[in-house]
Amino acid sequence: MKNGRIMSKDLNLCTKTMAGIYVQQGYFQKAIEIYRHLLEREPHRTDIKDALLAAEDQAARDCTVKSDYLLPLFMEWFDLVRKYNDLQKLKRCLKKY
């Protein structure tokens, strides 16, 4: 594995079971990469196609959950940065007096 991606030579050792374990652990992109590789080798496998679709769906939902969680945090962070900057301006003004 390199940079979180499965190298092509490692893909030859990957199985549907391994992809399923990645899904269970929340590593959806790794699972998707394995499923796609398996489908290239055996395009007739509907069980792998179904697993791929399910992993892609879970990955999409996971991104939505993360963005729903991160947006309020970023908003709070921006608000704190603004307040900090305002406080620094106030301190500079008070030093003049």
Average pLDDT along the chain, 97 residues, taken 10 residues at a time:
57 87 93 94 95 93 70 87 94 86
Joined tokens for residue 70: 């991160």
Residue 51 near residue 35, CB atoms below 8 Å: yes
Residue 17 near residue 34, CB atoms below 8 Å: no
Would you say the C-alpha torsion 55, 56, 61, 67 has a positive or negative sign? positive
Q: Where are the domains of the chain?
A: 8-68
pTM: 0.58
